[in-house]
Homo-oligomer: A and B are copies of this chain.
Amino acid sequence: MKWTENIYPIKELATGETLNLKTYTLCGEKPGPHIHIQASVHGAELQGNAVILQLMELLNTTKISGSITFIPLANPYATNNKHGTYTYGRYNPVTGHNWNRNYIDIIKETNFDFKKFLTKHQGQSWEKIKKAFKQELENLFEEYIQGLMNKKTLSENNKLNLLLQQLSAKSDGILDLHTGPVATRYLYAAEYEKEVAYFLKFKHILLIPNEFGGAMDEAAFMPWINLFKALEKAKIECPKDIESFTLEFGSEETFCMQSASKDVESIINYLKYKGVLAGTPDQIDCHYCLLKDYKTIYSPKGGLVDYHFAPGDRFFKGDNLASFYNLKNIDPLAPISSSRSTIVAQEDGIIINRCPSSSVHQGMELYQVMTKLHEHSGVQ
């Protein structure tokens, strides 16, 4: 068991200081999968770092097969960016880009030739193909980044995102630790990895298509989705044993070691499932919702909002989800009823995220909710 540390410069600031990523890698004595765990790509989403600390602590008292790389504070520029006491960490303050929509579909960008790749590795075992493909991925990123640098077209967004993709290229499991604004704990999982998702022991699972939309989890699984398709086309069977998840650990701006000691169980269980840790993984009762049934409720008016439901709460069609108060329209003879309007649930669901402010302009996101839930029993 051995820890290795690496430092990667990611942004030289105007004043000459350099912000770095620091990675901590633990290699077990026995072979096994490689797991990549990063936190805080959105700068205000801190809890994943507490989870990483708890997991690193625990790994010093056990043995692993394979290896794990940790990248806490994966976007220091975003975490350090304060407007008032809050962290403006979701978007690049200079370009407006969402830091988790800047990844690339390397296969598509480089027009990777699967036919040639499969021909080259014809008849080989899945383990060998997998290893070769990981190497291809790493090379693709190496070349791609170098190409942008040569052309002076490596932007401040791309650099960080491409580095994270490159560092995770050889992984069998990629865990991107996020949080919501004011949020419950929930998991993003792609449809192809649904059965594995249950081992992450989240109560709420958001099932997304096996498609690319710019996020890390998608960027990590897309090459494999494409490889699986190519293999299927070539009628070669394979176990689809590479996963990529986004884990949402509650609310932003929050760092709590006590909660982390419970949050970490999700990852420990997954590591057991992957064989990195010894032991039998289990599952809990949970439910999933398809992306198309994950709804954002936008504010139909401007005003001060009294939220009647908290993240994690279940609600039913007809429930009053929130009351709005327009304080420029008070009839003083009936001040409350005259200034108030309400938002009524159109269908049953569960609150997942909530806007962190009670002061909202028309059209802002109030809630994100899961509807049309599919139940899954943890007893197997």
Query: Do A16 and B302 form a contact, CB below 8 Å, given A335-B57, A358-B255?
Result: yes
Interface flags for A251-262 (1: CB within 8 Å of B; 0: not) read: 001111110000
Partner of A82, one of B50, B53, B93: B93
Q: Give the distance to chain B from A111, nearest Cβ to Cβ, in Å.
A: 16
Interface flags for A133-163 (1: CB within 8 Å of B; 0: not) read: 0000000000000000101111111110000
Q: Give the distance to chain B from A83, nearest Cβ to Cβ, in Å.
A: 4
Q: Flag the segment in A121-129, A233-241, A324-332 that touches B.
A: A324-332
Asked if B253 contacts A11 (CB within 8 A), the reply is: no
CB-based nearest B residue for A16: B328
Asked if A298 contacts B154 (CB within 8 A), the reply is: yes
CA distance A44 to B20 in the complex (A): 24
Contacting B at CB under 8 A, from A334-350, are 334-336, 339, 343, 346
Across-interface contacts of A304 in B (CB, < 8 A)? 14, 46, 49-50, 255
Asked if B339 contacts A3 (CB within 8 A), the reply is: no
Partner of A359, one of B154, B157, B253, B256: B253
CA distance A299 to B93 in the complex (A): 16
Across-interface contacts of A343 in B (CB, < 8 A)? 152
A210 within 8 A of B: no
Q: Give the distance to chain B from A319, nearest Cβ to Cβ, in Å.
A: 14
Q: Give the distance to chain B from A370, nearest Cβ to Cβ, in Å.
A: 15
Q: Flag the segment in A72-80, A112-120, A267-275 that touches B.
A: A72-80
CA distance A255 to B306 in the complex (A): 6
Interface flags for A18-55 (1: CB within 8 Å of B; 0: not) read: 11101010100000000000000001101001100110
Q: Give the distance to chain B from A320, nearest Cβ to Cβ, in Å.
A: 12
Query: Do A152 and B297 form a contact, CB below 8 Å, given A17-B17, A24-B332, A304-B46?
Result: yes
CA distance A244 to B362 in the complex (A): 30
CB-based nearest B residue for A358: B255
Q: Give the distance to chain B from A156, nearest Cβ to Cβ, in Å.
A: 3
A86 within 8 A of B: yes
Asked if A26 contacts B332 (CB within 8 A), the reply is: yes
A87 within 8 A of B: yes
Asked if A360 contacts B255 (CB within 8 A), the reply is: no
Q: Flag the segment in A94-102, A198-206, A222-230 that touches B.
A: A94-102
Across-interface contacts of A299 in B (CB, < 8 A)? 156
A15 within 8 A of B: yes
Across-interface contacts of A257 in B (CB, < 8 A)? 306, 323, 336
Asked if B76 contacts A12 (CB within 8 A), the reply is: no
* Chain A contacts to B: CB under 8 angstroms: 3, 5, 11-20, 22, 24, 26, 43-44, 46, 49-50, 53-54, 56-57, 60, 72-73, 76-77, 79-88, 90-98, 149, 151-159, 181, 253-258, 295-306, 323, 325-330, 332-336, 339, 343, 346, 355-365
Given A15-B19, A90-B96, A255-B304, 8 extra CB contacts under 8 A: A13-B302, A16-B302, A56-B330, A72-B330, A153-B296, A157-B363, A255-B358, A256-B358
